[in-house]
Amino acid sequence: MAINKQKAALSSIFAAIFLTSLKIVVGIFTGSLGILSEALHSALDLCAAVITFFAVKFSDQPADSKHHYGHGKIESFSALIETVLLFITCGFMKQWRNCFSAKMWN
């Protein structure tokens, strides 16, 4: 079962790479800020997929002398990291919007 979770996480990484790359190329060629913002969103998904892959990989390790109950809690910690990434992205997007707001140019 551990291998299935790792395969799913790895396929998620490849899908995120493909989508991010495609959106960046299309966004640059069309000059669309909407598509470029979607590329940024997909890049965040890529980061989350990479974090998930490593969390799944490490959480399936058996218990050892330092971790008597195994390594399963790393999945919860990785979810916390992904949540922090979301908050950082929200703050970045808010600042981006403020930089290009109509008030700035009046």
Q: How far is CA 31 from the centre of its chain?
A: 24
Q: Nearest Cα to 15, choosing from 39, 41, 45, 55?
A: 45
Q: What is the pLDDT of residue 70?
A: 67
Indicate whether 21 pLDDT > 60.
yes
**Contact between residue 39 and residue 18 where contact means Cβ atoms under 8 Å apart:** no
Q: What is the pLDDT of residue 46?
A: 93
What global pTM score does this model have? 0.72
φ, ψ dihedrals at 41, nearest 5°: -65, -45
**Contact between residue 59 and residue 75 where contact means Cβ atoms under 8 Å apart:** yes
Segment 35-77, tens digit of pLDDT: 888 898 899 889 989 998 988 888 777 777 776 666 677 788 8
Segment 72-91, tens digit of pLDDT: 777 888 888 888 888 887 77
